[in-house]
Structure 1
Amino acid sequence: MTRISVPKMTEEQLIERFVFIATEQDQAMLYDDNRRYNQLYDKMKDVEQELKQRPGDQRRVLLSLLEHENLQVKLRAALATLAVAPEASRAVLQWLSDRNRYPQAADAREMLDALDDGSYVPT
């Protein structure tokens, strides 16, 4: 299989990559593999940055993932889309917090607190 660099990927390919990375993050957390999680985090940021740089800020293509069955995919999509769809993203973060399934619930609560106290402003 030929590797395609992130800037050359279509939006569909970037969505697929985003889901793959988030799913792998979920597995890394399950096995306490912090090194792997951190590597995946950097790759996810590359995908998010590529979408953000595209004309019109294309992070909105990730909105469909707010309904994904995997909680890590759902969380990462909500975090990635806070600047482009704050209400929908925040609703998913609240849902994750209320669901009380860890570690996603803790991450969602942390972000909600940061949004509420102004220590994080989505860009």
Structure 2
Amino acid sequence: MTESPYASVSVGELVKRFEETCLEQYDTYVTGDINLYNSGYDTQVDIVKELTFRGPDARRSLMVLLTHENPQVRLRAAKRVYPVAREEARRCLEDLAASGWPDQSLAAGMTLSRLEDVPDCLDH
């Protein structure tokens, strides 16, 4: 198995990079750059894998993003922190679903609906 490209990166730097990729994704709603959106998604997955490897406290570090001003950052953080902070993540998703932000409101609502059907769907 290859070493993670993030193995030597601090937790704080991982959270910052996660935030940056979410903001880049948010911009793609205007630019339509699906490659950039997908690249950001892949980066987020890799970061979460590294945080998960470091333990629940490391993964909980993403909780700081649940109150971010940008709805895309909150959405992505809530989905990724859910396994280690269910109540906080669910509250964030509920707030987003009610927020009226077109894309993030819909995505949060669909995630909440899926959680009702499959409560462990975000447990990865």
TM-score by length of 1: 0.91
> Is residue 92 of structure 2 the alignment partner of residue 92 of structure 1?
yes
- Name the CA distance, whole Å, in 1 between partners of 2:66 and 2:47: 16
After superposition, the Cα gap between the structure-2 partners of 1:11 and 1:35, relative to the gap in structure 1 and judged at 3 Å, is: same
Q: Which runs of 5+ in 2 are unaligned?
A: none
Identity %: 34
User: Over residues 41-76 of structure 1, what are the superposed CA-to-partner deviations in whole Å (9 max), with x where a residue is unaligned?
Assistant: 101100011001113452100111101101111111
Matches within 5 A, 1:24-35: 24-35=24-35
- Name the CA distance, whole Å, in 1 between partners of 2:57 and 2:110: 25
The residue number in structure 1 matching 2:123 is 122
Q: Which runs of 5+ in 1 are unaligned?
A: none
- Name the CA distance, whole Å, in 1 between partners of 2:57 and 2:42: 19
Query: Secondary structure at 2:84's aligned position in 1?
Result: coil
More helix by percentage: 2
Runs of 4+ in 1 over 6 A off after TM superposition: none
Q: CA RMSD in A?
A: 1.3
TM-score by length of 2: 0.90
User: Over residues 65-115 of structure 1, what are the superposed CA-to-partner deviations in whole Å (9 max), with x where a residue is unaligned?
Assistant: 101101111111101111000010000000000012121111101110110
The residue number in structure 1 matching 2:67 is 67
